Structure 1
Amino acid sequence: MKDFLRILRRFMPPYKRELIFSFAFNILSALMNVLSFALIVPILNILFKINEDTYEFLPWISPDATTIFQKVESVMEVAQNNFYYLSANYIEQYGASSILFILALALVGMTLVKVGVTYLSSFFLIPIRTGVVRDIRNQINDKILSLPLSFFSEERKGDIIGRMTGDVGEVENSIMSSLDMLFKNPILILVYFTTMLVISWQLTIFVLVLLPVSGFIMGRVGKTLKRQSTEAQEKWGELMAQIEETLGGLRIIKAFNAEKKVAGRFHKGGDDLRRMSNKINRRQQLAHPMSEFLGTLTIAIVLWYGGNLILGHDASITASSFMFYLVMFYSIINPAKEFSKSAYAIQKGLASMVRIDKILAAESNITDPENPVQIPFNDKIEYKGVWFKYQNNWVLQDINLIIPKGKTIALVGQSGSGKSTMVDLLPRFYDVDKGEILIDGVNVRDAKIVDLRSLMGNVNQEAILFNDTFFNNITFGVDSATMDDVVEAAKIANAHDFIVGTENGYDTNIGDRGGKLSGGQRQRVSIARAILKNPQILILDEATSALDTESERLVQEALENLMRNRTTIVIAHRLSTIKTADEICVMHEGRIVERGHHNELYDLNGYYRKLCDMQQF
């Protein structure tokens, strides 16, 4: 219950108005329910002629009543007396059948009001439920966008998707659907219990002894449900990860005839999830029959005890009042059963909320400084004694490099030498462990992240495009661009001709990750996006390594247009593309081992010469 209330405190504040209205209508609903059933007592007395007493009209408050409790008790006794007095007079004039007709109409009218206010209580509860679920989804999405790349290198994308879908859905179906437990059922239970206490305190005390016993038995059944639900949600996340991997690797799966292997792995995971779900759902379904049996057993015991009270010589309760008491007691059983069912469902939802909180509670070490400094970038970029590691081993060791504004610096070396890591540190995708990176003498950690990254544009080996139109992909991150700006950028990137050749031109959808385009076309759209942003610093990460010769020629021409008069850092495997760089830095095992122009490095007969010879350059 503590965890449930903590979740409500986190997400309920925006919905205070709806909460107050729902709470108020729930109270009205409970009171109308009691009043409508209270009419059963006089109806039974009239039908069976139980009450033959003679009544006189009494003043509403006894002069002997001094305390508030005495006054309330006095008003209730007088109200009952006067009701029977007026009923007796009406029966004498018009007959018993007419008073029965009036009471029946009153019962229907009060029931109509009761169901109306019950609907209104749910009417105001629904926006709370849907709003909280929407807020959780938005918070997860915003958190994912704010977390550093290092978080996702340790988490599987499919598992994260599973938390946004399966876990949030479980929270909606369990915790949010159980809001009645807190805002309706307790009110009904309290009002019905108070009514039972007024009718017969002896009988109610007897009931109080029975209820904790049944509650303890049901609590024992649901104790392990939360742990089992956590395991099931983790298994669901694993399956989502497998689906994501399968969709991304279909070409390789088919090429290596691995369909059976992948299918077998998925089927095994599905079987495990099914077994877990069977245990959870069977235990959850046990809640209703168990609570029903225990409720019936309790009613039977109450019937026995109450019957003894009526049949005793000093009867403390009349037969008609006992019938009303049983109605109230039976009415309290349903919200009590819903309470127990909600408790089971909440355990499942809390297990999902724990997995969601692993994302929401994750802390980002890439943050803005308290007093950010503006970076003008008029002079140079400097890597000064930079060391970095992802986990245990150093990926970069004592990197010292100066990149003058307007110059092109190329990073070459074997895979794993630290080239991509080095450029990822500049826009603070990661932070250095030792040393510092300066732009015009200002540490990049001292600038706002958005200001720092606005200086830079990226073109990667794999063109990252979105399932949208050419126009929206090229203007991605640039809000004020016009169609003329987009067309100009596409022409510079050698992309305009094939774009206008498509069905709807710049309004043509390019498919998931640009799947409708060739590799060279995707790369040129990516370059057009960088051209439109017009960054001062350009980062090219093996932008032509995955292309054929013809596409590489067009892309290289587009890159040369993009690089003109910009500070550029190029990562290249094809050494033919960086011959004209102002300086080439050769990296080996996280260090810069050679630097200089192409001819100088080639004549050194060192690492660079070996790389050139391997490519038959």
Structure 2
Amino acid sequence: MKEFFQLMRRFVSPYKKYVCWAVVLNILSAVFNVFSFSLLIPILNILFKTNAQEKIYQYMDWEWSVDSLKETAINNFYYYVNQLIDAFGPSTTLLFLGLFLAGMTFLKTACYFGSTAVMVPLRTGIVRDIRTMVYSKVSYLPLGFFSEERKGDIIARMSGDVAEIENSITSSLDMLLKNPILIISYFATLMIISWQLTVFTILVLPTMGWLMGKIGRKLKRQSLEAQEKWGETMSQLEETLGGLRVIKAFTAEEKMISRFNKCSNEYRDATSRVSIRQALAHPMSEFLGTVLIVFVLWFGGSLILGNNSSIDASTFIYYMVILYSIINPLKDFSKASYMIPRGLASMERVDKILKAPNPIVEKANPTHLSALNEEIRFNHISFSYNGQTQVLNDINLRIQKGETIALVGQSGSGKSTLVDLLPRFHDVQEGEILIDGINIKDVSISDLRSLIGYVNQEAILFNDSFYNNITFGVENATKEQVIEAAKIANAHEFIMESEQGYDTNIGDRGCRLSGGQRQRISIARAILKNPAILILDEATSALDTESERLVQEALERLMKTRTTIAIAHRLSTIKNADQIYVLYEGRIVESGKHEELLAKNGYYKRLNDMQAL
């Protein structure tokens, strides 16, 4: 339970007022419940014509001491009942007592409903907060985190695990607030009625609690296993949706179905074990509760039959009713002992995201940067992923404002990693990157990234309209500015040919567009942002000749007044760059203009000859 209370401290604070109201209403519900059941005693006395009805009671003044309070309360209660019987007769008194019982029950149920209803905003609010926190953390985590995590598993944590927290933990909150109040009030009542019977009951209860705990110990571990299997299932689904074209091309449908079935069966087996163990909670608690009642019935009945009891038969029946009423809160506690470990297992998986360290940290008082005035400098940059093989080794670059430089080299030579260091998608491990002499680690991250525009090899678009994709990340853009950006990117014509123009939805990841069209929308977005620094990551490598020509024209317009870093495999697209750097195994092995590099007859010349061939 320690983990549970730590979890509550993390998430319940904004909802303290709901907790306070729930406590108050639950106390009132418990009080009304106890007093409503107390009316059973005079009703039974009237029905069975016991001695308590015939005995003459005199009104006693209230003395607020522990010893006399119980005696005075019982005496005065019977006094008023006898007064009613004398005035209206037993039958009418029975009706009055019944109506009073109904009124008390109405108040009890109203308070019970109120205590449940007031907890709804708390339960739904906690779940919303957790989901929002996970989404926010995912948005801010560095790219390196996702290279080690499966997308499907992250989606499973945001969907299945958060839903499990809602079903298990937050639904137990009401029980954990209400049941202690009920149990305390019922036990207090039992102690007042007969402390001997209550002591006997308390001696029997620990054994039953130990049995329930023994059954539930393995539940958290089994729940964690089940949620991990759910994450694997979601990963399989995400991979299948992303790779349908390849699956169909290689006629691998049956293979993927077999993989999914295996994963799905493992998830089914894991959830079955959890469900069977949880299903045992109710019948076990029902049986143990009945055993408790039987023991108390035997012990109390023996006292009454032996004429050694301090209570009469009708009071003993009231005692048994209260004792039976305490069974339900205890059963709810046992139910919570099964549900909470499932939710804690899910919270453990969610915390792997929420508590994941983010190495990209902004300084407390960062420097603000609004423009590139002079140069970008990479000084002795070295970098590796997770301390493994070096991806970059002692890179030195100097890029003047307005200059276009190109990075070329084989796949895996470190080109994309190098440009990812500039907007701090990863942080340099050795060396420093300077913009106008200021270390980028000292600059506000939002200011730094607002200076940079990206056009990737794979155009990343969203399931939205042309207009919203072009204006993505740009506040207060006018329609005229959007149209102008689209025209510069050679995108205006095909946008206007669509059914709703700029309001046309382009589908998931722009699936309704060709590769060249997607890339031109991506360029239009970069044009509208109007960045000082432009990064082109193989922006034309996946296009056909005609699309490449249109995209290249748009890129040339975009590059005219900007500092540009272009990564390219097609050397024809960067031969006009001011400076070309050739990377090989994380090092710059050559640099110069296109003609200079050809004259060196080195690595760049070999790349050029292979492409010409």
What is the TM-score of this pair, normalised by structure 1? 0.98
Q: Which residue pairs with 1:593 in the alignment?
A: 589
Please provide the CA RMSD for this pair: 1.0
Q: Which residue pairs with 2:29 in the alignment?
A: 29
**AA in 2 matched with 1:459:** V
* Distance of 1:86 and 1:161 partners within structure 2: 66
**AA in 2 matched with 1:440:** D
Q: Is it true that 1:315 corresponds to 2:315 in the alignment?
A: no
Q: In the TM superposition, what is the alpha-carbon distance from 1:45 to its structure 2 partner? A: 1.1
**AA in 2 matched with 1:45:** N
**AA in 2 matched with 1:390:** Y
Q: Which residue pairs with 1:112 in the alignment?
A: 106
1:273-352 alignment to 2 at 5 Å? 273-352=267-346
Q: Secondary structure at the match of 1:517?
A: coil
**AA in 2 matched with 1:523:** Q
Q: Is it true that 1:384 corresponds to 2:386 in the alignment?
A: no
* Distance of 2:167 and 2:114 partners within structure 1: 21
* Distance of 2:67 and 2:100 partners within structure 1: 24
Q: In the TM superposition, what is the alpha-carbon distance from 1:481 to its structure 2 partner? A: 0.4
* Distance of 2:609 and 2:241 partners within structure 1: 38
Q: Which residue pairs with 2:262 in the alignment?
A: 268
Q: Is it true that 1:246 corresponds to 2:248 in the alignment?
A: no
* Distance of 1:73 and 1:380 partners within structure 2: 90
Q: Which residue pairs with 1:59 in the alignment?
A: 61
Q: Which residue pairs with 2:392 in the alignment?
A: 396
**AA in 2 matched with 1:260:** E
1:439-518 alignment to 2 at 5 Å? 439-518=435-514
Q: Is it true that 1:42 corresponds to 2:42 in the alignment?
A: yes
Q: Is it true that 1:605 corresponds to 2:601 in the alignment?
A: yes
* Distance of 2:80 and 2:236 partners within structure 1: 76
Q: Secondary structure at the match of 1:364?
A: coil
Q: Is it true that 1:12 corresponds to 2:12 in the alignment?
A: yes
**AA in 2 matched with 1:75:** L
Q: Higher mean Cα deviation, 80-89 or 265-274?
A: 80-89
CA contact (8 A) 1:460 1:540 kept: yes
Please list every run of 5 or more consecutive structure 1 residues that lacks an aligned counterpart in the other structure: 62-69
CA contact (8 A) 2:70 2:192 kept: no
Q: Which residue pairs with 2:206 in the alignment?
A: 212
Q: In the TM superposition, what is the alpha-carbon distance from 1:88 to its structure 2 partner? A: 1.7
Q: Which residue pairs with 1:366 in the alignment?
A: 360
**AA in 2 matched with 1:378:** N
Q: Which residue pairs with 2:409 in the alignment?
A: 413
Q: Which residue pairs with 1:131 in the alignment?
A: 125
Q: In the TM superposition, what is the alpha-carbon distance from 1:311 to its structure 2 partner? A: 1.3
CA contact (8 A) 2:390 2:586 kept: yes
Deviations 1:507-565, CA, capped at 9 Å, x for gaps: 11110000010000000000000000000000000000000011101000000111011
Deviations 1:297-331, CA, capped at 9 Å, x for gaps: 11111110000111123321110110000000100
**AA in 2 matched with 1:25:** L
Q: In the TM superposition, what is the alpha-carbon distance from 1:133 to its structure 2 partner? A: 0.1
* Distance of 1:47 and 1:511 partners within structure 2: 76
Q: Which residue pairs with 1:91 in the alignment?
A: 85
Q: Which residue pairs with 1:66 in the alignment?
A: none
* Distance of 1:4 and 1:176 partners within structure 2: 10
**AA in 2 matched with 1:57:** Y
Q: Higher mean Cα deviation, 233-242 or 527-536?
A: 233-242
CA distance change for structure 1 residues 223 and 395 in 2, over 3 Å: closer, same or farther? Answer: same
CA contact (8 A) 2:381 2:393 kept: yes
**AA in 2 matched with 1:299:** I
Q: In the TM superposition, what is the alpha-carbon distance from 1:604 to its structure 2 partner? A: 1.0
* Distance of 2:140 and 2:184 partners within structure 1: 46
* Distance of 1:115 and 1:316 partners within structure 2: 32
Q: In the TM superposition, what is the alpha-carbon distance from 1:201 to its structure 2 partner? A: 0.3
Q: Which residue pairs with 1:65 in the alignment?
A: none
Q: Secondary structure at the match of 1:138?
A: helix
**Residues paired across the two proteins, number:** 609
Q: Which residue pairs with 2:177 in the alignment?
A: 183
Q: Is it true that 1:232 corresponds to 2:234 in the alignment?
A: no
* Distance of 1:373 and 1:241 partners within structure 2: 41
Q: In the TM superposition, what is the alpha-carbon distance from 1:77 to its structure 2 partner? A: 2.2
Please list every run of 5 or more consecutive structure 2 residues that lacks an aligned counterpart in the other structure: none
* Distance of 2:24 and 2:577 partners within structure 1: 74
Q: In the TM superposition, what is the alpha-carbon distance from 1:76 to its structure 2 partner? A: 3.4
* Distance of 2:108 and 2:67 partners within structure 1: 25
* Distance of 1:516 and 1:205 partners within structure 2: 75
Q: Secondary structure at the match of 2:65?
A: helix
Q: Which residue pairs with 1:554 in the alignment?
A: 550
Q: Secondary structure at the match of 1:615?
A: helix
Q: Secondary structure at the match of 2:453?
A: strand
Q: Which residue pairs with 1:429 in the alignment?
A: 425
Deviations 1:449-496, CA, capped at 9 Å, x for gaps: 101111100000000000011111000001110111101100100101
Q: In the TM superposition, what is the alpha-carbon distance from 1:75 to its structure 2 partner? A: 3.5
Q: In the TM superposition, what is the alpha-carbon distance from 1:48 to its structure 2 partner? A: 1.1
Identity of aligned residues (%): 62
Q: Secondary structure at the match of 1:544?
A: coil
* Distance of 1:555 and 1:374 partners within structure 2: 34
* Distance of 2:301 and 2:411 partners within structure 1: 87
Q: Higher mean Cα deviation, 298-307 or 49-58?
A: 49-58
Q: Which residue pairs with 2:144 in the alignment?
A: 150
Q: Is it true that 1:579 corresponds to 2:575 in the alignment?
A: yes
* Distance of 2:72 and 2:365 partners within structure 1: 73
Q: In the TM superposition, what is the alpha-carbon distance from 1:72 to its structure 2 partner? A: 4.5
Deviations 1:406-436, CA, capped at 9 Å, x for gaps: 0000000110011000100000000111111
Q: Is it true that 1:356 corresponds to 2:356 in the alignment?
A: no
Deviations 1:332-353, CA, capped at 9 Å, x for gaps: 0011001101110101000000
CA contact (8 A) 2:519 2:551 kept: yes
* Distance of 1:454 and 1:90 partners within structure 2: 84
CA contact (8 A) 1:309 1:317 kept: no
* Distance of 1:83 and 1:317 partners within structure 2: 16
* Distance of 2:248 and 2:45 partners within structure 1: 81
CA contact (8 A) 2:470 2:525 kept: yes
Q: Secondary structure at the match of 2:477?
A: coil
* Distance of 1:20 and 1:73 partners within structure 2: 33
Misfit runs of 4+, over 4 Å: none
CA contact (8 A) 1:36 1:107 kept: yes
* Distance of 1:89 and 1:396 partners within structure 2: 97
Q: Secondary structure at the match of 2:441?
A: helix
Deviations 1:59-80, CA, capped at 9 Å, x for gaps: 122xxxxxxxx62443332232
CA contact (8 A) 2:127 2:166 kept: yes
